[in-house]
Structure formats: C-alpha cells, structure tokens
A and B are shown apart, each in its own frame.
Chain A
C-alpha cells in the first residue's frame, strides 16, 4: 500500500498535522507567527549548506532552523522590537539561502520543491522522518502540557508556581525548528508557518477550551491535507499550496459559522 505515491503523500500530511495542530495553537497563543516564518525561511539556507557540505537535507535545515530560532530568542530577550529585527533575520536568511544554492556545483536543484514542498514525491524514509519528528513534537507537548499552557497565559503565574517560563519557551522554539525541518518536503519553506497558523486560527472559532482547539486544529489540518491532495490530483495544481488553500477555505467556513451563530443568538 505504501507503494502508492498518493497514500504516502496523505500519510505525510496526516503525520505532519499531529505536530502542527498542537504546536500551531501555541504559535497562535504566543503570537509567534512571524517567528515561525523566519525560522522556516532560514531552512532554505540550511538546504544550501547541506548541499554544499553533502549533508542530509533534513539535518542541514534542522541545524540552521535551530540557529535561527536561537538568534531570534536571544534578540527578543534583549528587549529589541521583534518586528523589524525578525524581518531582517527572516529575509536575510532566505535571500542568503537562495544565493548560496546558486553556488552548489553540478547539481540542478529544484528550488521550488524546497520553497513550496513536493509532497507527491515523499519516500518511505521521508515518512519515517516526518512521523518520527512530528510524533516527538506532539509527545513533548502532551508531556509538558500544563507547564506550557500556564507559561503561555502568564509567565509570572508560572514562575510563582515553580514552573520555568523560559524553559517552556525554549521547548516551543526547538519544536518549531524541528517541525520546520520535517515539513520542508510537505509544504515547503514559504508555507510551513501557514500550516501552523491557519488550522489553529480556524479551530479557534469553534473551540471553547485549549484542548478542544488543539484537537480541532489537527482535524482541520487532516481535512486540508486530504482536500488539498484531492484537488492537486483532480485539477493538477501544486500539492503544497493546494493544502494551504484548503486550510484557508476551512478558516473562511469556520469564521462564517461563528458569525452566523453569534448573529442568530
């Protein structure tokens, strides 16, 4: 069954969703949308370095994404306005990566595969990596759930209860870098943070507790992955962007549902 490229693609999307659902909720709650974007852009630089030094692509992206996430965290801890600084780091890393890839000798690099993903060519070992990385992220979030949630809603309350809010921030930071590394193949560097933000935001409209929002976010991701792949097959559209379009449409639907429900009350 795993021989079918479409089954592998669907499994890749579903696997990634078990991490992007819960992590995306924390990204939205902590207002880290731009942070996720910058980390994902840095992944292109990771691809370039991996090609140049003949390292596995996922290792290169993970290392550079971690370095980027660390740099941004450090910058934010210095109390600098994250907005413009994030922009400099984000686009600096993206452009440097694009330039660096052009220096890679003898290789015809399919750049769009890294920018927008190439879910239809996912291999068995890719699947292992995606499910392993996503499963790890989901497990860590489940394990530290209370501490992460309390640190998110009030670092002061967390610290007074003996939780270290900085440690929990680090957990989220590393998780974002890990998700960026494993999702490059699925949706690509430019759309990774869309996969984090859009399902979680759509889920917010229909949720009244944090757990509900995480579950709904995973369900939205699954539906978007399925619908995006279906559309890609039927309409011959690029798979990664199609998944994000499907997620955005679900967001419109849940927003409409919320508005309708509020008006009819």
Chain B
C-alpha cells in the first residue's frame, strides 16, 4: 500500500519538458528525499504530486490522505498582520494547549503572539512544520525546508524530522540539495534530473554512477553546485539507455534504474 504514487508523470513549462514520465511512490512511514541539481524538476515534482501544477500522467493518492505541506518560503504581504497563533489555526482551529505543545515540540515554544513577518528563517521553517503537523498528516511534503539555515540549523531540522517520524509514523517526502546532511536522514533517495536517474538507499545512490555523474566524484555529494546538461554521460559503468517504462538489472540490487 502506498500513500501517494506517480505514474508516467510529465510536467511541461511552455515548450520545455521539466519532468519526463516519472514513476515514484511513497510508502507509509518512509523518509524519501529527492536530490538533483538546480532546474532538475524537484520542485515541479512536488507541486505535481500536490496538484499545484498541471501535469500529465497519473497521481494516485490513498483515499482520505492528509498532506502536511511545508513550502520553500512564505511570501507574506506586509499589509497583512499575522500572529503565529492565527497562522497555525488555518484552515482548522486548534486549542491553545495543542498549539503550545506543538510549538514546544518543534523547538520554538511560546511564540504564539509573535508576528510571522518578524520570525527568523529557522523559526519560520519550524512554524510551517508545526502548522503541517497540527493537521495530523499521513505524509509531510517539504520543499527545500532548510533553505537559508546554517549547517547547524540544517542538521537540527533534519534531526527533528527524523524524531517526528519516529514518534508519529508520518511519511516524509522532501526535496533538498544539501546532499551530505540530508542523506543520513533518508530511507530512500531519488536522484532526479528531469527523469529519475537512480534511486535506492542513500549509500547505494551515493555510489551509483548516475549520481556521480550529476554531483561529482569523491565528495560524498557535497559538490552539488555543478550544473550540467540534460545529456549527461551514462557510459561510466551503468550504460543504460534513455528509454522509459522498463527496468534494468541494476548493478547493485538496491539501485533501481527508472530512466
């Protein structure tokens, strides 16, 4: 049983194909991380799964699925005064105790009366997470949740996500490009570049040639800044063709190539 599943998901922006026939799914309680260079369609994939962007192909959600969405940022209009308490009560109201306990849980206790505009980047991310968790979601979907945080902040945030998963059993699907930090917290990593290059357990993906082709060698993925063209080289060791809807005998059994 999967919570959310994409089959042949294709997204176009104008004439450009951002995502090409992507197949993926998330199972209950799983932490799945999507990595990929800028422009590889990570955010488009999340938005298509959430139904925020038009797409072709099929997205199947478990009936009654509750999604907790943590966006990349929240662009608030300065004309809108918004205390944290009010924000956390949208769209459904919660009791003051529930809100206090949740803010405490995500590490920003007692900020109910603060204006959302006045929060630091790290505080805002935790408030966004608190709002998502108050809905008791089956799955958390996070889009680059640690953007703007320093490395300590990043590590702390991912530890929080892992703890929350352990406590509540919520599944997590997130997008990231801080590879080295995010890898350790994930059950499964999907390496995306317009299509799924490879996926599997973090250490397996890190050693997969497709991943190395995207993120460089010997850096454990830390050199994620390297931009590359869509026709990256697959000949070094793996050699699959870019045809779709088929599976190969993977070089390692946990790596699945879904071109």
| Residues on A facing B (Cβ under 8 Å) | 28-31, 146-147, 149-150, 152-154, 156-163, 201, 204, 207-213
> Is B63 at the interface (CB under 8 A from chain A)?
no
Most A CB atoms within 10 A — which of B52, B71, B80, B93?
B80
A163→B135 CA distance, assembly (Å): 14
Please give the distance in Å from B69's CB to the nearest CB on chain A. Answer: 4
Residue in chain B with minimal CB distance to A201:
B79
Residues of B30-50 contacting chain A, CB below 8 A: 47, 50
Interface of A is mostly: helix
> Is B251 at the interface (CB under 8 A from chain A)?
no
A212: chain B residues at CB < 8 Å are 81
Apart from A146-B93, A147-B91, what are 20 other A-B pairs with CB-CB below 8 Å? A29-B80, A30-B77, A146-B92, A152-B80, A153-B82, A154-B71, A156-B69, A157-B69, A157-B74, A157-B90, A159-B51, A160-B50, A161-B67, A161-B135, A204-B79, A204-B81, A207-B81, A209-B82, A210-B81, A212-B81
Please give the distance in Å from B240's CB to the nearest CB on chain A. Answer: 35
Residues of B15-62 contacting chain A, CB below 8 A: 47, 50-52
Most A CB atoms within 10 A — which of B50, B81, B86, B89?
B81
A150→B92 CA distance, assembly (Å): 10
CB < 8 Å: which of B51, B90, B115 contacts A150?
B90
Contact A208 B74 (CB under 8 A): no
Contact A213 B81 (CB under 8 A): yes
With contacts A28-B79, A31-B77, A161-B135 known, is A156 near B71, CB below 8 A? Answer: yes
Closest 5 CB pairs of A and B: A160-B69, A150-B90, A146-B91, A29-B80, A28-B79
Please give the distance in Å from A29's CB to the nearest CB on chain B. Answer: 5
With contacts A159-B50, A159-B52, A161-B91 known, is A209 near B74, CB below 8 A? Answer: no
With contacts A31-B77, A154-B74, A156-B69 known, is A146 near B82, CB below 8 A? Answer: no
B92: chain A residues at CB < 8 Å are 146
A109→B93 CA distance, assembly (Å): 52
Please give the distance in Å from A215's CB to the nearest CB on chain B. Answer: 12
A154: chain B residues at CB < 8 Å are 71, 74-75
Contact B141 A160 (CB under 8 A): yes
Contact A156 B52 (CB under 8 A): yes
A161→B68 CA distance, assembly (Å): 8
Contact B81 A209 (CB under 8 A): yes
A30→B67 CA distance, assembly (Å): 26
B229: chain A residues at CB < 8 Å are none
A150: chain B residues at CB < 8 Å are 90-91
Residue in chain B with minimal CB distance to A213:
B81
Contact B71 A163 (CB under 8 A): no
A30: chain B residues at CB < 8 Å are 77
> Is B76 at the interface (CB under 8 A from chain A)?
yes
A204→B67 CA distance, assembly (Å): 33
A161→B91 CA distance, assembly (Å): 7
Contact A146 B52 (CB under 8 A): no
A146→B115 CA distance, assembly (Å): 18
Residue in chain A with minimal CB distance to B68:
A160
> Is B83 at the interface (CB under 8 A from chain A)?
yes
With contacts A156-B69, A157-B69, A157-B71 known, is A163 near B77, CB below 8 A? Answer: no
Please give the distance in Å from B92's CB to the nearest CB on chain A. Answer: 7
CB < 8 Å: which of A158, A204, A209, A213 contacts B91?
A158
Residues of B57-109 contacting chain A, CB below 8 A: 67, 69, 71, 74-77, 79-83, 86-87, 89-93
Please give the distance in Å from B3's CB to the nearest CB on chain A. Answer: 14
Please give the distance in Å from A144's CB to the nearest CB on chain B. Answer: 10
Please give the distance in Å from B111's CB to the nearest CB on chain A. Answer: 14
